Chain A
C-alpha cells in the first residue's frame, strides 16, 4: 500500500525496545476514580460526629430525587452530611481538580514544569481581586456570588500576562524569570491584600484572612454551584486544545510548522487555565503547589500526552485536595489547619526536590 509517496508496511509491528514504564491510561484513571470515591466516603464519615459509612451512603442515596431509602440517620446527622460535609467535600474536589488542571495547562503553555497558579502569582492576583470586591462599598452579594469568580479571573489573568511579558524578552521565554516574576508579583499582591486586611473592619478582614490561608471551612452549596460552570467551561476549552498542547511541547517554531497558531492557542489556553484557577481561588482562597505536585505525579505515571492525562489530572487533583482537607480538619481536632498551610508544607519541599533533581532547568 502506498500513501502519497510513503511505502506502508504492516500495521502494528513497531518494536517495544526499552519502552518507558507507563500506567495504561484507562486503568490508571479508573483506579484514581475508585480511590477518590473511597477517600470522599471516608471524608464524609469524619468530623465532629463520626457517621458510619453505611449510613453516609444511605443518606446520599436517599437525597437523590425520586429515591427513598431507610437511612436510620437523625435529622442532625442528615443536616451535617448534606449541608456541611457534602458541599465541603465537593468544593475540595472542584478546587483540587481546577488547580491541578490549570497547573498542567500552564506547564504546557510555558514549557516549564514549575509553572502553576500559585508560583505564577495567579492565585495571589485572584485573591487580591476577591479582597477588593469584599472591601468595596458595593456589597458583592448584591451582584450575586456569580461575579466573584469573574473578578478573580481578571486578577489572575492580568497577573499571568504581566509575568509572561516580563519573562519574555527578545522573543525568548526565560523559565527562571517566569517563576521569579510570579513570586515577586505574588508578594506585591499579598502585600496589597494585607493592607486591605489591616485597614479594614473586622467584618471584612476575617473573610479576606481566610482567603490568604486557603481552606474549605466556608464552603457552601452556593459556592459549589456558582463555581461549577466556570470550571466546566475552562476545562472544556483546555480539553479541546489538548492535542495542540501536545504539539506545543515541541518548540514554538515546530508548532507553527505543524499548523498550530501558537499565539492564539497560548492566549486561549492561558485564559481558560486562569479562569479555572481563579474560580478555585474564589471558592477556597490561595492554595499553593497542588498544581505542581499533581501534574508532575501524573506525568511520571502516565507520560506527557495531554489527552491521556486530562481526566487523571482532574481526578488526581480532587483526590489530593479531599485528602489534605480531611487531614486539615482532623489532625488537631477540634481545631482546623488552613488547607493552604498544609499544601505549602507539602509542596515547598516537593518544589525543592524538583529543583535538586536537575530534571528541571530554569
Chain B
C-alpha cells in the first residue's frame, strides 16, 4: 500500500532523512520507532508530499506525483502528533471534516457522509460523545476523535504520528489495539510509537530509525534487541523477554 524507496530530505544542508526504504502492506501495522530527531515525523510528512523530498514514493500502487488536487487524501489519512482544533468544535463536526477530500467545491455532506462519519465514530468508540466539544475531552478521547476524523476519509493507508504519547498505559493499549483491529479489516497502518515495549507488542513489523537512517527493520523480536536498543538509545536500558509471550520488554538497566 505504501512503498518508500531511497527517500531523502535535506533542509539547509542537514540530512533529515537519508535513503530510507519502508514498505507497508494492506492489513499490517508497521511501527516506526527511534529516538527524538531520528526522522520519523519527517518520513510521514515526506510520504504524503507535505514535505518535499528526493526518492520514490508509491501509494496504492501509484506514484505520489500522480495524485492531483488533494485526491491522495481519499486514499491516505494522516493523524499528526499534536493536531489542533477549536475547543468549541464538536467531535461530530471534526469527524465530518474528514469527508472534505471526497466533496467537491459545491457539494454538501449528504446522508452517506453522515453515515460514514457516524460509522467512523462508532469504530473508534467515540459516538457516545459525538456532540461534546473537543475542549471538554480527555487526552484519550481526543485522540480517538482525531482517529475517527481520519477514518471518515475512508483511507486504505493510515499514517499516525505518536497517537499514544501522553496517554496512560491502558489508553495506549486501547489505541494500539484499535489500530490492530483496523488493520485486520484491511487498512495498512504506519504508526510512530515512542514506547518500544508497546510497539513490539502491537506491531507486525518495526522500523528502527536513527539520525535519518533505518537501523533495523523486521519482526519486533529482531528489531528490539539489546544490541540495537543500546546502540540507538544508550546503555541505560535492557531488553528482556516477556515471561508469558516472550515479546521483548524494554526495562531500565538497574539491578
Q: Which residues of A contact B (CB under 8 A)?
A: 3-9, 11-20, 240, 243-244, 246-247, 249-251, 253-254, 256-261, 299, 303-305, 307
Closest to B132 in A: A18
Docked-complex contact A6 and B151, CB < 8 angstroms: yes
State which of B90, B100, B115, B129 has its C-beta within 8 Å of the C-beta of A8. B115
Closest to B49 in A: A256
Q: Does B195 contact A (CB under 8 A)?
A: no
Docked-complex contact B83 and A3, CB < 8 angstroms: no
Q: Interface digits, B115-158 against A, CB 8 Å rule (1 contact, 0 not)? A: 11011111100011111110010000000000000010110100
Docked-complex contact B83 and A254, CB < 8 angstroms: yes
Docked-complex contact B69 and A259, CB < 8 angstroms: yes
Docked-complex contact A20 and B131, CB < 8 angstroms: yes
Q: Show 9 A/B contacts (Cβ-Cβ < 8 Å), sorted by A.
A: A4-B156, A5-B187, A6-B154, A12-B118, A13-B118, A17-B128, A258-B73, A258-B98, A259-B73
Question: What is the CA–CA distance of A64 and B50 in the complex, to the nearest angstrom?
Answer: 56
Q: Which residues of B contact A307 (CB under 8 A)?
A: 108
Docked-complex contact A19 and B119, CB < 8 angstroms: no
State which of B101, B108, B121, B129 has its C-beta within 8 Å of the C-beta of A259. B101
Closest Cβ of chain B to A41, distance in Å, is 34
Question: What is the CA–CA distance of A256 and B122 in the complex, to the nearest angstrom?
Answer: 25
Docked-complex contact B89 and A4, CB < 8 angstroms: no
State which of A6, A254, A258, A260 has its C-beta within 8 Å of the C-beta of B119. A6
Docked-complex contact B90 and A20, CB < 8 angstroms: yes
Docked-complex contact A6 and B50, CB < 8 angstroms: no
Docked-complex contact B136 and A259, CB < 8 angstroms: no
Closest to B94 in A: A250
Q: Does B93 contact A (CB under 8 A)?
A: yes
Docked-complex contact B83 and A251, CB < 8 angstroms: yes
Question: What is the CA–CA distance of A244 and B101 in the complex, to the nearest angstrom?
Answer: 10
Docked-complex contact B80 and A7, CB < 8 angstroms: no
Contacts across chains A and B counted by CB atoms under 8 Å: 128
Docked-complex contact A9 and B85, CB < 8 angstroms: no
Docked-complex contact A257 and B80, CB < 8 angstroms: yes
Closest Cβ of chain B to A1, distance in Å, is 8
Q: Which residues of B contact A240 (CB under 8 A)?
A: 105-106
Closest Cβ of chain B to A322, distance in Å, is 29
Docked-complex contact A15 and B73, CB < 8 angstroms: no
Closest Cβ of chain A to B69, distance in Å, is 7
Closest Cβ of chain A to B114, distance in Å, is 7
Q: Which residues of B contact A17 (CB under 8 A)?
A: 128-129, 131-132
Docked-complex contact B118 and A259, CB < 8 angstroms: no
Known interface pairs A240-B105, A249-B85. Does A259 touch B132 (Cβ–Cβ under 8 Å)? no
Question: What is the CA–CA distance of A3 and B102 in the complex, to the nearest angstrom?
Answer: 14
Docked-complex contact A14 and B132, CB < 8 angstroms: no
Closest Cβ of chain A to B244, distance in Å, is 31
Docked-complex contact A249 and B114, CB < 8 angstroms: no
State which of A20, A243, A257 has its C-beta within 8 Å of the C-beta of B77. A257
Docked-complex contact B97 and A7, CB < 8 angstroms: no
Question: What is the CA–CA distance of A261 and B105 in the complex, to the nearest angstrom?
Answer: 13
Docked-complex contact A250 and B83, CB < 8 angstroms: yes
Q: Does B196 contact A (CB under 8 A)?
A: no
Q: Which 8 A-B pairs have the closest CB atoms?
A: A259-B70, A19-B131, A259-B101, A14-B130, A251-B84, A259-B73, A257-B78, A8-B119
Closest to A20 in B: B133
Docked-complex contact A303 and B187, CB < 8 angstroms: no
State which of A4, A7, A258, A305 has its C-beta within 8 Å of the C-beta of B122. A7
Question: What is the CA–CA distance of A305 and B97 in the complex, to the nearest angstrom?
Answer: 11
Docked-complex contact A14 and B121, CB < 8 angstroms: yes
Q: Which residues of B contact A247 (CB under 8 A)?
A: 97, 100
In the complex, chain B residues 34-76 whose Cβ is within 8 Å of any chain A Cβ: 45, 48, 50, 69-74
